[in-house]
Amino acid sequence: MNDKRPILSVENLTKVFGGVVAVDNVSFAVDEGEIFAVIGPNGAGKSTLFNMITGVLPSSSGNVYFQEKRLTRKKPYQIAQLGITRTFQNLEVFDNMTVIENVMTGAHITMKTNILTAGLRLPNVKKEEIRIMERSMEALEAVGISHLAYELADRLPYGSQRLLEIARAAISNPKLILLDEPMAGLNSEESRQLVEVILKMREQGMTFLFVEHDMETVMSISDRIVVIDNGVKIGEGTPEEIYQNPQVVAAYLGDEEEEGVEAYA
């Protein structure tokens, strides 16, 4: 039962901006195959934490380990090559490209060919392109939007563009996907579709770390949750444990009962 091992370990991670301690000595570990949520109010430090894990921001102190490799001071592309991809809070699709072309851009980190050989259009480049196109189509099938493959990306409804981002994140065969507020802006049908996709991908072995304000989703799909307030970790556990954690209840969940999930947003 307990043969899980951490795929990601965050150890005493700290980020100071001038006088502001945005992330203060935060530690937690995500097991392989988990759906792991990071929650907390606006300004709690969640995006800063994601940016340090993915190498977008250097940490002030502390370390991140991915499959026991230290990520500290690695560049974002090196971290991506190790098997971590992410989506962003705001949609980041290329409007003037088709859906499948968008997904194909996610494959570049694993491409065997380089720009020189690609420029010369050597035969193995063509083969590689075909392989990537096939994989992109499979990724679109996995998120349920392969029928939209040849549409321009900006013609897609918002929810489908989010699914496109997940397909693009998955195309490089990552071991861990970080999702920054994946449910933001989705209607209930789109949210349901996205939840199904995440659960299906997890069944196939993917690990997810996600930041989310939508507590209904967090509580229903997360294996474990970390709660951050003012840069400090104030709770960690299963959804049931989080509901029963007095510090977390005092900080947010008490309000939620009266005001609804908006208390988190």
CB of 146 to ligand ATP, least distance (A): 32
Interaction between residue 59 and ligand ATP (CB under 6 A) = no
To which H or E segment does residue 22 belong? Answer: strand 20-31
Q: Which is nearer to ligand ATP, 199 or 265 (CB)?
A: 265
Interaction between residue 46 and ligand ATP (CB under 6 A) = yes
Part of the chain binding ligand ATP (CB under 6 A), chosen from 45-53, 123-131, 199-207, 251-259? 45-53
Q: From the CA atom positions of the chain, what is the Rg in Å? A: 19
The span from the CA of 254 to the CA of 263, in Å, is 9
The span from the CA of 198 to the CA of 201, in Å, is 5
CB of 235 to ligand ATP, least distance (A): 15
Binding ligand ATP (rule: CB under 6 A), the pick from 7, 8, 9, 45 is: 45
Part of the chain binding ligand ATP (CB under 6 A), chosen from 41-49, 61-69, 96-104, 155-163? 41-49
The span from the CA of 185 to the CA of 204, in Å, is 27
The residue behind tokens 């307030």 is 229
The span from the CA of 232 to the CA of 224, in Å, is 17
CB of 52 to ligand ATP, least distance (A): 10
Residue type for 153, please?
A
Sheet hosting strand 61-66, strand order edge to edge: 20-31, 6-17, 61-66, 69-70
Assign 86 to helix, strand or coil.
Answer: strand
The residue behind tokens 């209930």 is 188
CB 249 within 8 A of CB 229: no
Interaction between residue 54 and ligand ATP (CB under 6 A) = no
Backbone angles phi, psi at 207, to 5 degrees: -110, 140
CB of 54 to ligand ATP, least distance (A): 13
Q: Which is nearer to ligand ATP, 24 or 190 (CB)?
A: 24
Part of the chain binding ligand ATP (CB under 6 A), chosen from 36-44, 78-86, 138-146, 246-254? 36-44
Interaction between residue 20 and ligand ATP (CB under 6 A) = yes
CB of 160 to ligand ATP, least distance (A): 24
Part of the chain binding ligand ATP (CB under 6 A), chosen from 40-48, 122-130, 146-154, 162-170? 40-48
